[in-house]
């Protein structure tokens, strides 16, 4: 029997060639790679913007840009990172590529809808670009588009919120597709407790996407209506209440934080057991904690609004609920650590990145508790402490999970292996740079430096300079990682079906997988993380 | 947005329906955001809301409710008709449902027109200069009924596509997911109206 052709050589629908085979494809794997290309572009752009911002802040007073440009730039950085990188990165790229394979099937349930979601994603991106160059320039409202400023300002708020609306739609439809696939396309022999944890986390995420995204859609529609018609729903002069905007906004945007982090946690839950050669500790606890985070995380939105004049009762209730979310998150962290305990650990780049994730995510989680507690929150509200906290979670968490996923699944997606040494160097530099970048911000925040300010008092200069220095280190590390990955295309070192000794279904198929994913009908293991055979194989000297 | 596996051999109507229900769910949440606003402002301006309700034409509102309810029935009946191989009846019922949609929108047009004539629209002098609660009431009225009207239009487009499919023979007694899901969407439009009607027209 000849080796099956990979999906790169077979188009779906059949008979398409060249660029059409990509742009009209129904194949979830091609769509995953198309998302990868788009997301990569946005990530690099927003990273450069972030670096420019921190460069501006390295010295007091104007250095490389004026205050208006600065305001637009941090808005653009936020909008791109949130809506075009962190939310779509893991579900749309790795979820699309691996969810069907992990479930033992050949595609998602609605393949054409999947393609449609990609076009929505691109359209949203296009709107963002148009908003950048057309008319009065990009908004300087911050990514939160708070009223009344967002309703009154002349810049392209309308276009930008339309972009976010369309991107939300794309993310919601992807979630809908995943939930349906999960229920209807799963291999018949795969019970609920035999599903890999990455897929479980995507399932929990998909529910949050379906539940929460429409709220932001309607909120953005209202911003547009207010800009066009001036109804006054959020305008105190006309009887409206601006606080309600904040409620509606965070009703989505806080759950969105879990849309961002849950898939990352799923990635880590895959990587840790593989390189510990040991079954995941607390499989069911991890599954339930994913669902727990999805539910509890939907009920904590007003912790962004402690200082906005809510009643003390609401503040108390939301603070309590916020603390509850820490429990399922900690369950996961302890499970990962317990998985490694007495495991046969094999160091590889994805594992190193996963370890950095655990460390940074834990710091992010703990600083989150500082913010969730009302007393401390009021001290550090809207300071650099907050900026640092959410970058620890979003970047130290999701960002590093994204890098880890890239290194983990790269050989599967492209069938080639990258060099380890540069990957280690890049990952370590990124980690060290990260700490240099964000720890000073924690301290600056505690000292009282507000976020989103163009300039600051002299006592904050040292911290800001250090943070900028760390930012360059961080970006250097990322560039090394990316260049190393891209260099693997030149070296063309074949990877084999299962280079890591992993047990989930995607490693039982050739790299890269054939069009219908499976050469033979998949054999579903009674437990997805049983490493007995992997360890035996290694003991016999095979690999 | 209805999927057919390319091979065409594995069509799973249950799965398609799950997808549709999830989508409908997201639509409910979309309106849910507006209903949250309604609840918060009703709490604050209950008297103005009652005064605003007096301004609305209950007769047209009730007529529209009846029209939508009847159309929901005829859509459901058209699906049954198709499943019983009564294609002609199915087509007639769908045409009638579309007519109901048109009647609804025509009523809405006259209703809005009458409000505009009485200087009750976003940004009008009566509203901006008057009671803030009344301004909010009419603001929500226009946004919610407007968004609902858009959904009526989308529902009519879906029903028209289904009608074309039935006429052209693409939807059959065995494969009627498109019609089925358009019907579900139409029921959703109806359902939302069932909430909108008392909240605005019958509020006291």
Q: How far apart are CA A304 and CA B185, in angstroms?
A: 36
**Nearest chain A alpha carbon to B38:** A233
Q: Residue B6 has what pLDDT?
A: 44
Q: Residue A148 has what pLDDT?
A: 87
Q: What contacts A494, CB < 8 A, 6 or more positions away? A: A415, A416, A417
A6: phi then psi, degrees, rounded to nearest 5:
-75, 170
Domain boundaries, chain B: 57-201
Contact B29 A211 (CB under 8 A): yes
Residue A494, H or E segment: strand A493-494
Q: Residue A1 has what pLDDT?
A: 40
Compute CA distances A380 → A74, A141, A371, A455, whole Å: 20, 21, 8, 18
Asked if residue A8 is part of any domain, the answer here is: no
A417: phi then psi, degrees, rounded to nearest 5:
-105, 145
Q: Using an 8 Å CB-CB cutoff, list chain A residues near B19.
A: 109-110, 113, 176-177, 180
Q: Which structure tokens are listed for A228?
A: 């066009």
Beta bridge partners of A48: none
Contact B143 A233 (CB under 8 A): yes
CA of A385 vs chain B CAs: smallest distance (Å): 31
Residue A417, H or E segment: strand A416-417
CB atoms within 10 A of CB A482: 16
Q: How far apart are CA B16 and CA A95, in angstroms?
A: 20
Alpha helix positions (H), A24-148: 28-58, 67-79, 87-88, 96-102, 111-133
Asked if residue A3 is part of any domain, the answer here is: no
Q: Residue B2 has what pLDDT?
A: 37
CATH of the domain at A430: 1.20.210.10
Mean pLDDT per 10-residue section of chain A, whose length is 543 residues: 74 85 93 96 96 95 92 93 94 96 95 96 94 85 89 88 94 96 94 95 94 92 92 90 92 90 96 94 93 89 90 92 92 95 94 97 94 92 95 96 97 95 97 96 95 93 95 97 96 92 93 91 91 85 52
Looking at the 3D structure of chain A, how many domains does it have? 1
| Distance, CA of B190 to chain centre | 5
CB atoms within 10 A of CB A191: 11
Contact A239 B140 (CB under 8 A): no
Closest partner residue to B139 among A26, A176, A231, by Cβ?
A231
Q: Judge whether A244 is closer than 8 Å to chain B, CB to CB.
A: yes
**A with B: how many residue pairs have Cβ under 8 Å apart?**
111
Beta bridge partners of A416: A494
CA proximity to A518, closest of A155, A159, A190, A128: A190
Contact B142 A231 (CB under 8 A): yes
Q: Which structure tokens are listed for B137?
A: 């009431």
Q: Using an 8 Å CB-CB cutoff, list chain B residues near A184.
A: 12, 14-15, 18
Q: What size, in residues, is chain A?
A: 543
Beta bridge partners of A383: A450
Q: Residue A136 has what pLDDT?
A: 81
Residue in the block written with tokens 């990165």: A89
CA of A58 vs chain B CAs: smallest distance (Å): 42
Q: Report the helix count and the strand count for chain B, using DSSP H and E.
A: 7, 0
Q: Judge whether A425 is closer than 8 Å to chain B, CB to CB.
A: no
Q: Judge whether A497 is closer than 8 Å to chain B, CB to CB.
A: no
Interface test with A, best of B127, B135, B142 (most A CBs within 10 A): B135
Contact A184 B128 (CB under 8 A): no
Interface test with B, best of A180, A310, A311, A314 (most B CBs within 10 A): A180
Asked if residue A319 is part of any domain, the answer here is: yes
| CATH superfamily to which B57-201 belongs | Cytochrome c oxidase, subunit III, four-helix bundle (1.20.120.80)
Domain that holds residue A101: 18-539
Residue A233, H or E segment: none
Q: Judge whether A222 is closer than 8 Å to chain B, CB to CB.
A: yes
**Nearest chain A alpha carbon to B124:** A231
Q: Residue B1 has what pLDDT?
A: 34
Interface test with B, best of A176, A203, A251 (most B CBs within 10 A): A176
For A416, the 3-state DSSP assignment is strand
Q: Judge whether A186 is closer than 8 Å to chain B, CB to CB.
A: no
CA of A21 vs chain B CAs: smallest distance (Å): 15
Residue A530, H or E segment: none
CB atoms within 10 A of CB A450: 15
Q: Using an 8 Å CB-CB cutoff, list chain A residues near B31.
A: 218
The CA-based dihedral angle spanning residues A271, A497, A198, A541, taken in that order and rounded to the nearest 10 degrees: -40
CB atoms within 10 A of CB A133: 9
Alpha helix positions (H), A373-460: 374-380, 384-391, 400-414, 420-447
**Angle, vertex CA B150, rays to CA B148 and CA B151, nearest 5:** 65
Residue in the block written with tokens 């990188």: A85
CA of A458 vs chain B CAs: smallest distance (Å): 44
Q: How far apart are CA A34 and CA A52, in angstroms?
A: 28
Closest partner residue to A109 among B3, B132, B139, by Cβ?
B3
Q: Residue B122 has what pLDDT?
A: 87
Q: How far apart are CA A403 and CA A407, in angstroms?
A: 6
Q: Residue B7 has what pLDDT?
A: 44
Residue spans of chain B under pLDDT 70: 1-10
CA of B153 vs chain A CAs: smallest distance (Å): 18
Compute CA distances A377 → A319, A371, A382, B3, B94, whole Å: 10, 5, 9, 48, 58
**Nearest chain B alpha carbon to A252:** B33
Q: Using an 8 Å CB-CB cutoff, list chain A residues near B22.
A: 176, 179-180, 210
**Nearest chain A alpha carbon to B23:** A176
Q: Judge whether B144 is closer than 8 Å to chain A, CB to CB.
A: no
Asked if residue A377 is part of any domain, the answer here is: yes
CA proximity to A349, closest of A292, A418, A249: A418
């Amino acid at each position: 029997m000849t080796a099956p052709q990979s999906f790169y050589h077979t188009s779906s629908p059949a008979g398409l060639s060249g660029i059409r085979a990509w742009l009209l494809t129904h194949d979830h794997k091609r769509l995953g790679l198309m998302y990868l290309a788009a997301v990569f572009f946005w990530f690099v752009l927003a990273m450069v913007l972030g670096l420019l911002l921190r460069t501006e802040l390295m010295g007091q007073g104007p250095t490389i840009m004026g205050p208006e440009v600065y305001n637009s730039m941090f808005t653009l950085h936020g909008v791109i990172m949130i809506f075009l990188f962190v939310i779509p990165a893991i579900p749309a790229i790795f979820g699309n590529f691996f969810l069907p394979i992990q479930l033992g099937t050949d595609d998602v349930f609605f393949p054409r809808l999947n393609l449609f979601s990609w076009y929505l994603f691109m359209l949203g991106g296009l709107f963002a670009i148009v908003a950048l160059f057309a008319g009065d320039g990009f908004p300087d409202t911050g990514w939160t588009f708070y009223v009344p400023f967002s309703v009154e300002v002349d810049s392209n708020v309308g276009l930008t919120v339309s972009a976010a609306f369309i991107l939300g739609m794309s993310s919601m439809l992807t979630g809908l597709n995943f939930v349906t696939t999960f229920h209807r396309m799963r291999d018949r022999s795969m019970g609920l407790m035999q599903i890999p944890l990455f897929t479980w986390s995507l399932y929990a995420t998909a529910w949050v996407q379906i539940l929460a995204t429409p709220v932001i859609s309607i909120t953005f529609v209202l911003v547009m209506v207010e800009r066009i018609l001036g109804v006054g729903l959020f305008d105190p002069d006309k009887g409206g209440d601006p606080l309600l905007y904040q409620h509606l906004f965070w009703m989505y945007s806080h759950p969105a934080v879990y849309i961002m982090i849950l898939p990352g946690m799923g990635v880590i839950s895959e990587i840790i057991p593989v390189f510990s050669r040991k079954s995941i500790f607390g499989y069911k606890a991890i599954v339930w904690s994913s669902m727990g985070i999805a539910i509890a995380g939907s009920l904590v939105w007003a912790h962004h609004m402690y200082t906005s004049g809510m009643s003390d009762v609401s503040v108390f209730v939301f603070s309590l609920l916020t603390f509850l979310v820490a429990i399922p998150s900690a369950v996961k962290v302890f499970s990962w650590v317990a998985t490694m305990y007495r495991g046969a650990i094999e160091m590889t780049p994805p594992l190193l990145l996963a370890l950095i994730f655990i460390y940074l995510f834990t710091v992010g989680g703990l600083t989150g508790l500082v913010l969730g507690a009302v007393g401390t929150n009021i001290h550090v509200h809207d300071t650099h402490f907050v900026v640092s906290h959410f970058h620890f979670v979003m970047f130290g968490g999701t960002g590093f999970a994204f890098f880890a996923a890239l290194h983990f699944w790269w050989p599967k997606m492209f069938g080639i292996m990258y060099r380890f040494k540069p990957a280690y160097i890049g990952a370590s530099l990124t980690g060290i740079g990260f700490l240099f970048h964000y720890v000073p911000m924690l301290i600056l925040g505690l000292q009282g430096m507000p976020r989103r300010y163009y300039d600051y008092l002299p006592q904050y200069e040292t911290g800001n300079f250090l943070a900028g220095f760390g930012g360059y280190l961080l970006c250097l590390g990322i560039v090394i990682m990316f260049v190393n990955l891209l260099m693997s295309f030149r070296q063309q070192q074949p990877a084999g079906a299962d280079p890591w000794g992993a047990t989930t279904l995607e490693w039982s198929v050739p790299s890269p997988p054939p069009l219908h994913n499976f050469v033979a009908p998949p054999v579903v293991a009674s437990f997805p993380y049983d490493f007995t055979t992997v360890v035996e194989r290694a003991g016999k000297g095979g690999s | 947005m209805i999927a057919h596996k390319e091979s065409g051999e594995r069509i799973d109507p249950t799965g398609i329906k799950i997808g549709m229900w999830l989508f409908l769910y997201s639509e409910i949440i979309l309106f849910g955001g507006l209903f949250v606003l309604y609840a918060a402002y009703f709490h604050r301006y209950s008297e103005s809301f009652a005064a605003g309700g007096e301004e609305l034409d209950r007769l047209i509102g009730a007529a529209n409710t009846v029209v939508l309810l009847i159309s929901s029935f005829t859509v459901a009946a058209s699906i049954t008709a198709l499943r019983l191989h009564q294609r002609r009846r199915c087509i007639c019922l769908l045409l009638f449902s579309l007519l109901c949609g048109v009647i609804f929108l025509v009523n809405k047009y006259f209703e809005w027109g009458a409000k505009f004539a009485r200087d009750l629209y976003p940004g009008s002098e009566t509203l901006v200069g008057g009671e803030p609660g009344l301004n909010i009431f009419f603001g929500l009225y226009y946004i919610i009924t407007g968004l609902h009207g858009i959904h009526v239009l989308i529902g009519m487009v879906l029903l028209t596509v289904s009608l074309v499919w039935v006429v052209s023979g693409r939807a059959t007694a065995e494969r009627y997911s498109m019609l089925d899901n358009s019907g579900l969407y139409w029921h959703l439009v109806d359902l939302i109206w069932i909430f909108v009607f008392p909240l605005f027209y019958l509020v006291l």
